[in-house]
Amino acid sequence: MNSRVYILDVGLTRVGDHWKSSIQELAYESAKGLLHRNSRSIPFDGLVVANALSEISSSQQNLGPLIADALQLDNVEAIEVEAAGASGAAAVHVASKMLSSEHWKKCLVIGVEKMRDLEPSKITLAQALSEQAEYTHFFGMSLASLNALLARLYMSEYGTTRDQLSSFPVIAHKNSSTCEHAQFRKKFSRDDVSRSEIVSDPLRVLDCAPVGDGSAAIILASGEEMDAQQRRNSVEIVTSESASGRVNFFERDDMLEFMSTKKAADRAFLKTGLSIDDIDIFEIHDAYSVGAALICEALGLSKRGEACKDAVSGKFDLNGQFPISTFGGMKGRGYPVGAAGVYQFCEAFMQLKEKAGFNQVPNARRALIQTMSGIDSSCFIHILSTQHKG
Amino acid sequence: MSIPFWRNRDRYYRMLGSKCQKCGKEFFPSVLVCRSCHSTDVKDFEMPQSGKLLSYTLQKESISGFEDQEPMVFGLVELDNGVRVVAQIVDTPYEALKMGTKVRTVFRKVRTDGESGQIYYGYKFAPVRVTSH
Ligand SMILES: [Zn+2]
């Protein structure tokens, strides 16, 4: 029991418009290279598909067997995991427990989401599905508006300026400007963000993650099946933790603390004996600027109320103390909701294997991945590690 | 949407929440188990009709079904009993809102269901007018 779990290989599509692809075709697109590179001499035992919105976007459920079919993965257990924006990380969480318990030896996790087929008001509804329907979107309230209420509260409580809040999208887009698979390869200034069109005041278009199609895939295996060479080429998932809490942020005792993120991170650090100073990169769920700030504070990268100031100071840049969203995160790389978490794993893998190109953080050995649903109603924390060379 | 709406009518029409019979804590939306003391002895309880605005927003991108009401104003309201809710804010220009603005519950049309034609009603909030005489 309790085998170690490794990521052997990753594959992804660019985030954006994939008008011509169905869900199955898009999933195949992300996985085909990785299936080609990794012989099937050790067969796959499982396929875990991460998706959040296929019922709305494509009138389709049952993606497990549908994608196993498309990929000709015979004899796999094929299951689908939905946890709104955290679906991708929830899928990895499930897969890693299947492997560590030795129920499976090798499996594929594929995140896939198609959003661009939907008209704008349907997308706004789809994004809000993580919230308690009867008391939020029944009344017409979007997820952006809930985040806007939180942003105004945050700014008022801590005296944060509009200009300071804009620093998180600036970091994301600086990193995505050199990321090949990003939806937007473009830099923006804090002024650009602060003056962009209003979505839900005070949040602007550039405070909110864009809407895109995308698919990402990773191969996971238990250490039992691997030789020394394979271990060197892979990245270990050292810990996989999750926590959940109050769904409605307005019902929380402290509205400005992301407790699910804090709890899951505390568990991950307790189990591994690691601390934030042992982590080289942080992939975070920065779908909204205010969320990015609250995540950095919950993880302990900033003191409470100081995340935006820290972001302005360069603390979270690729060459800063705690690099975040190294390929642009949800904001810059793009946010295909249910697939987004799997992208984070691909990106952390590329960093730890020194395949991150212009975005490489030198000597990155450990990565922390924070993925959440809604406004931190649930959070998944994964810590990844690679062996030193030599 | 029509069956859930019917089921929730009292919650939408009268802001019927819950009160814990053991520790006295009040909740909206209603709860099955007290969030404070975990007692299951909770009873229906009507929320107070007034409170103050803690935060507010002007929503310019509509959710499906609300396109004709764009833009909409929403607020985070703390009721007089300390319970916090989010709801639409009406009868005021957005620019007039401030944190701390006193508001009261009003009962209004939410929307007409495009498919069934059914009209949904529910609670919203409006600023309390200061009368001059
Ligand atoms: Zn109680």
Domain limits for position A71: 5-118+211-232
Inter-chain CB proximity A140 and B62 less than 8 Å: yes
| Residue B50 to chain A, least CA–CA distance (Å) | 17
Inter-chain CB proximity A149 and B64 less than 8 Å: no
B25 CA from centroid of ligand 1 (Å):
6
Q: Which residue has the higher pLDDT, B8 or A299?
A: A299
- Averaged pLDDT, A330-340: 98
Q: Is residue A30 part of a domain?
A: yes
| A121 neighbourhood in chain B, CB within 8 Å | 61-67
Q: Is residue A39 part of a domain?
A: yes
| pLDDT number for residue A227 | 86
| pLDDT number for residue A224 | 84
State yes or no: pLDDT of A390 exceeds 50: no
State yes or no: pLDDT of B93 exceeds 60: yes
Count: domains in chain A: 1
- Averaged pLDDT, A15-19: 96
Quote the distance between the C-alpha of residue B133 and its chain's center.
Answer: 30
State yes or no: pLDDT of A226 exceeds 70: yes
- Averaged pLDDT, A368-372: 98
- Averaged pLDDT, B33-56: 97
Q: Is residue A279 part of a domain?
A: no
Residues 6+ apart with CB under 8 A from A367: A279, A280, A281, A282, A283, A348, A351, A352, A383, A384, A385
Q: Is B75 on the interface with A (CB under 8 A)?
A: yes
Which of B25, B64, B73 is the mutation pick for testing A, counting most A CBs within 10 A? B64
Inter-chain CB proximity B87 and A125 less than 8 Å: no
| pLDDT number for residue A214 | 98
Nearest-angstrom CA–CA distance, A318 and A359 = 7
Inter-chain CB proximity A121 and B67 less than 8 Å: yes
- We find that the CATH architecture of domain B48-127 is Beta Barrel (2.40)
Which of A53, A118, A141 is the mutation pick for testing B, counting most B CBs within 10 A? A141
SS (H, E, C) chain A: CCCCEEEEEEEECCCECCCCCCHHHHHHHHHHHHHHHCCCCCCCCEEEEECCCHHHHHCCCCHHHHHHHHCCCCCCEEEEECECECHHHHHHHHHHHHHHCCCCCEEEEEEEECCCCCCHHHHHHHHHHHCCHHHCHHHCCCHHHHHHHHHHHHHHHHCCCHHHHCHHHHHHHHHHCCCCCCCCCCCCCHHHHHHCCEEECCEEHHHECCCCEEEEEEEEEEHHHCCHHHHHCCEEEEEEEEEECCCCHHHCCCCCCCHHHHHHHHHHHHHHCCCHHHCCEEECCCCEHHHHHHHHHHHCCCCCCCHHHHHHHCCCCCCCCCCECCCCHHHHCCCCHHHHHHHHHHHHHHHHCCCCHHHCCCCCCEEEEEEEECCCCEEEEEEEECCCCC
In this complex, the residue of A122, A146, A152 whose CB is nearest that of residue B86 is: A146
Nearest to B107 by CA among B1, B6, B7, B15: B15
Of A71-75, A92-96, A159-163, B51-55, the one with minimum mean pLDDT is A71-75
Task: Give the model confidence (pLDDT) of A90-116 as tens digits.
Answer: 999 999 999 999 999 999 999 999 999
| Residue A110 to chain B, least CA–CA distance (Å) | 29
Q: Is residue A306 part of a domain?
A: no
pTM, to two decimals: 0.97
ipTM of the modeled complex: 0.95
| pLDDT number for residue B115 | 79
**In chain B, which residue's Cα lies nearest the Cα of A255?**
B84
Inter-chain CB proximity B57 and A201 less than 8 Å: yes
Q: Where are the domains of chain B?
A: 1-47, 48-127
pLDDT category of residue B132 using cuts at 50, 70 and 90: low
In this complex, the residue of A137, A149, A248 whose CB is nearest that of residue B55 is: A149
- Averaged pLDDT, A235-260: 97
Nearest-angstrom CA–CA distance, A349 and A382 = 12
Percent of chain A with pLDDT over 90: 94
In this complex, the residue of B57, B58, B84 whose CB is nearest that of residue A250 is: B84
Cβ under 8 Å to A: B residues 98-127 = 99, 110-111, 120, 122, 124
State yes or no: pLDDT of B131 exceeds 80: no
State phi, psi for A92 to the nearest 5 degrees. -65, -40
| pLDDT number for residue A40 | 66
| B17 neighbourhood in chain A, CB within 8 Å | none
CB contact at 8 A, A240 and A91: no
User: What does the block give as tokens for B27?
Assistant: 């909740």
State yes or no: pLDDT of B1 exceeds 60: no
| B87 neighbourhood in chain A, CB within 8 Å | 139
In this complex, the residue of B54, B57, B111 whose CB is nearest that of residue A145 is: B57
Residue A45 sits in a domain whose CATH number is 3.40.47.10
A153 CA from centroid of ligand 1 (Å):
28
CB contact at 8 A, B17 and B26: yes
| A250 neighbourhood in chain B, CB within 8 Å | 76, 84-86
| pLDDT number for residue A2 | 85
Question: How crowded is the C-beta side of B1, counted as CA atoms within 13 Å?
Answer: 18
Q: Is residue A109 part of a domain?
A: yes
Nearest-angstrom CA–CA distance, A315 and A17 = 33
pLDDT category of residue B2 using cuts at 50, 70 and 90: low
Inter-chain CB proximity A125 and B65 less than 8 Å: yes
| Residue B132 to chain A, least CA–CA distance (Å) | 31
For the four alpha carbons of A158, A164, A169 and A171, in that order, the dihedral sign comes to negative
| pLDDT number for residue A107 | 97
Inter-chain CB proximity A141 and B84 less than 8 Å: no
Question: How crowded is the C-beta side of A327, counted as CA atoms within 13 Å?
Answer: 27
State phi, psi for A384 to the nearest 5 degrees. -115, 145
Q: Is residue A108 part of a domain?
A: yes
| pLDDT number for residue A230 | 87
| B61 neighbourhood in chain A, CB within 8 Å | 120-121, 124, 142, 144, 199-200
Task: Give the model confidence (pLDDT) of B24-38 as tens digits.
Answer: 999 999 999 999 999
Nearest-angstrom CA–CA distance, A205 and B97 = 22
In this complex, the residue of A121, A198, A250 whose CB is nearest that of residue B58 is: A198
CB contact at 8 A, B92 and B36: no
Q: Is A238 on the interface with B (CB under 8 A)?
A: no
Residues around ligand 1, an ion, CB closer than 5 A:
B 20, 22-23, 25, 34, 36-37, 39
Q: Is B95 on the interface with A (CB under 8 A)?
A: no
Q: Is residue A66 part of a domain?
A: yes
Which of A142, A147, A155 is the mutation pick for testing B, counting most B CBs within 10 A? A142
